């Protein structure tokens, strides 16, 4: 322990000397004064590198947080002020491709493809002019798959608590916990004649009405009204007369 | 081919928006007709306001399509009864089935097989309209 006695005269300047005194091997870290400026620059670079690394790393983590927050936002149901503009964008993309936004025309095209032209002149048209719309339809199916299976955590739709209680009274126990009511759309409901006929009749009214009015929600409420067309306004008023009558007058009788 | 792909991507985009905005949910349609949420009115309203502004921009500036062709937005044929009666019938179906034609396709992709019954009904309804078209008031 002799070496420590020497500390009384100041700190050891050559650690290697003391380590040799203690029987250790010569230290590889022995400070060489001639090389000191170089090692200073080296350590200076190391510190700068460390700072840059920490700074970049911190930013990456912040961005990761941002990305995570964005992902969370995507996975949650989208608010109206996001969805509405995106629907308008869909319409404008189609307009700038020289087409028009209207989903129910496809029903007509499919009927024509199934050979309905033999039964009624109405379907006697060139379906190839509407081939682009069938591609949009195919895309909508794929989009539904992506939205439901890749971009969502759950499928519960958070409707207003009052709506939930009204629906539960009508017998829709799945209100507030599902995307579609199990009572109508569940696979078990497919064996029930009542729910099956509700779906079928609902579909018939949709198809018949959409073609009679020459458009549906996309064709009239979005495309038509955007062009300030009076027929579309009449049709949309009709949509609401029918919808309100169904829910306020017929629903209590049906369910 | 490029055009076909762009229609496909627009469709995929539309399908995702329909599903994620819950506009394809039966419950949202019911809630809308009960006037208990602004959600659906917000979606249709904001799409409409932007739509009106955009269509006006296109018309006033005589904008051209991506392919350089002039954009023509054909107005619907004039009439009242066709749109009123058709609209009311469509509205009844919209509230009952809780889906309009766009979301029907989206829900097929989302895996709700029962919606195929609605689609079959819609095709049947379209076919019935085709048969009766000349006898109906327009």
Q: How far apart are CA B111 and CA A107, in angstroms?
A: 20
A210 vs B29, B33, B101: nearest CB: B101
Is A142 in contact with B109 (Cβ distance < 8 A)?
yes
Best residue of B5, B6, B7 to probe chain A, by most A CBs closer than 10 Å: B7
What is the rounded average pLDDT of the residues A29-43?
63
- Decide if B128 contacts A248 (C-beta within 8 A): no
CB contacts under 8 A, B 88-107 vs A, are 88-102, 104-107
Best residue of A72, A81, A87, A225 to probe chain B, by most B CBs closer than 10 Å: A87
What is the rounded average pLDDT of the residues A92-121?
92
Report the mean per-residue pLDDT for chain A: 86
Q: Work out the pLDDT band at A15, boundaries 50, 70, 90.
A: low
Interface contact B135, partner A, CB < 8 A: no
Quote the pLDDT of residue B106: 96
Min mean pLDDT across A26-35, B49-58, B107-116 is at A26-35
Residue B64's DSSP bridge partners are B70
What is the rounded average pLDDT of the residues B101-105?
94
Burial of A255 (0-12, 13-18, 19+ CB in 10 A): middle
**Token code pair at residue A59:** 């930013």
- Decide if A239 contacts A217 (C-beta within 8 A): yes
Give B14-30 pLDDT, tens digit per residue.
999 999 999 999 999 99
* CA angle in degrees (0–180, nearest 5) for B27-B106-A92: 105
CB contacts under 8 A, A 135-154 vs B, are 135-149, 151-152
- Decide if A6 contacts A12 (C-beta within 8 A): yes
Give B26-42 pLDDT, tens digit per residue.
999 999 999 999 999 99
Quote the pLDDT of residue A133: 95
Interface contact B42, partner A, CB < 8 A: yes
Quote the pLDDT of residue A62: 78
Give A120-177 pLDDT, tens digit per residue.
889 988 888 999 999 999 999 999 999 999 999 888 999 999 999 999 999 999 999 9
A206 vs B48, B65, B94: nearest CB: B94
Q: How far apart are CA B134 and CA B118, in angstroms?
A: 25
Give A203-247 pLDDT, tens digit per residue.
999 999 999 999 999 999 999 999 999 999 999 999 999 999 999
**Token code pair at residue A221:** 């409420």
CB pairs under 8 A between A and B: 513
What is the rounded average pLDDT of the residues A56-60?
80
Instruction: State the nearest Cα–Cα gap between A44 and chain B, in angstroms.
Output: 52
Collect all residues with Cβ–Cβ distance below 8 Å to A71 and sequence separation of at least 6: none
B42-to-A95, B25, B32, B123 alpha-carbon distances in Å: 23, 15, 10, 30
What is the rounded average pLDDT of the residues B71-87?
91
Residue with token string 């955009």: B54
Is B87 in contact with A209 (Cβ distance < 8 A)?
yes
Residue of B nearest to A211 (CA): B126
Q: How far apart are CA A160 and CA B79, in angstroms?
A: 38
A202 vs B20, B118, B131: nearest CB: B118
CB atoms within 10 A of CB B74: 8
Query: Which residue pairs, CB below 8 angstroms and at least 24 apart, start in B67-70?
Result: B67/A97, B67/A98, B69/A98
Give A197-210 pLDDT, tens digit per residue.
999 999 999 999 99
Residue of A nearest to B44 (CA): A84
Would you state the torsion angle of the CA atoms of residues A23, A25, A27, A30, taken in this order, to the nearest 10 degrees? 70
Quote the pLDDT of residue A205: 97
Residue B70's DSSP bridge partners are B64
Length of chain B, in residues: 138
Instruction: State the nearest Cα–Cα gap between B99 and chain A, in angstroms.
Output: 9
Interface contact B30, partner A, CB < 8 A: yes
Query: Which ipTM was obtained for this model?
Result: 0.95
CB contacts under 8 A, B 58-77 vs A, are 58, 63, 65-67, 69, 71, 73-77
Q: How far apart are CA B115 and CA B105, in angstroms?
A: 9
Min mean pLDDT across A14-28, A87-101, A164-178 is at A14-28
Residue of A nearest to B131 (CA): A120
Tell which residue, A109, A137, A114, has the closest CA to residue A125. Answer: A109
Quote the pLDDT of residue A17: 56
Sort out which chain A residues have CB atoms less than 8 A from B58's CB and list them: 95
Quote the pLDDT of residue B39: 96
Instruction: State the nearest Cα–Cα gap between B77 and chain A, in angstroms.
Output: 8
**Token code pair at residue A246:** 């169904």
Q: How far apart are CA B14 and CA A87, in angstroms?
A: 7
Residue with token string 């250790």: A24
Q: How far apart are CA B56 and CA A227, in angstroms?
A: 8
**Residue B64 carries which DSSP code?**
B
Half-sphere exposure of A4 (CA within 13 A, CB side): 1
Instruction: State the nearest Cα–Cα gap between B134 and chain A, in angstroms.
Output: 9
Query: Using only C-alpha atoms, what is the Rg of chain A?
Result: 36
């Amino acid at each position: 322990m002799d070496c420590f006695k020497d500390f009384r005269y100041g700190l050891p300047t050559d650690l290697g000397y003391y380590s040799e005194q203690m029987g250790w091997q010569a230290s590889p870290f022995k400070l060489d004064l001639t090389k000191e400026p170089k090692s200073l620059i080296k350590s200076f670079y190391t510190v700068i590198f460390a700072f840059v690394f920490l700074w970049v790393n911190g930013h990456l983590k912040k961005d990761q947080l941002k990305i995570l927050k964005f992902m969370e936002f995507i996975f949650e149901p989208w608010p109206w002020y996001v969805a509405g503009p995106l629907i308008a964008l869909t319409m404008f993309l189609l307009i700038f491709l020289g087409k028009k936004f209207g989903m129910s025309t496809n029903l007509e095209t499919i009927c024509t493809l199934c050979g309905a032209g033999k039964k009624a002149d109405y379907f006697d048209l060139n379906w190839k002019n509407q081939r682009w719309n069938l591609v949009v339809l195919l895309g909508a199916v794929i989009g539904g798959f992506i939205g439901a299976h890749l971009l969502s955590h759950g499928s519960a739709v958070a409707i207003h608590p009052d709506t939930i209680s009204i629906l539960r009274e009508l017998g829709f126990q799945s209100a507030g916990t599902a995307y579609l009511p199990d009572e109508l759309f569940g696979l078990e409901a497919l064996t029930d004649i009542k729910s099956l006929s509700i779906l079928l009749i609902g579909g018939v009214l949709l198809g018949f009405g959409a073609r009679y009015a020459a458009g549906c929600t996309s064709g009239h409420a979005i495309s038509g009204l955007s062009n300030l067309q009076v027929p579309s306004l009449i049709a949309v008023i009709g949509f609401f007369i029918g919808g309100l009558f169904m829910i306020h007058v017929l629903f209590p009788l049906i369910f | 081919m490029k055009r076909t792909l762009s229609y496909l991507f627009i469709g995929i985009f539309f399908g995702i928006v329909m599903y994620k905005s819950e506009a394809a949910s039966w419950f949202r349609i019911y809630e809308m007709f009960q006037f208990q949420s602004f959600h659906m009115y917000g979606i249709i309203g904001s799409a409409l306001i932007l739509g009106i502004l955009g269509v006006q921009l296109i018309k006033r500036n005589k904008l051209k399509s991506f392919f350089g062709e002039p954009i023509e937005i054909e107005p619907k044929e004039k009439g009242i009864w066709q749109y009123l009666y058709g609209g009311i019938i469509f509205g009844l179906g919209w509230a009952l089935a809780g889906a309009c034609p766009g979301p029907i396709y989206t829900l097929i992709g989302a895996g709700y097989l029962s919606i195929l019954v609605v689609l079959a009904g819609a095709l049947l309804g379209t076919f019935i309209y085709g048969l009766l078209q000349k006898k109906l008031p327009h």
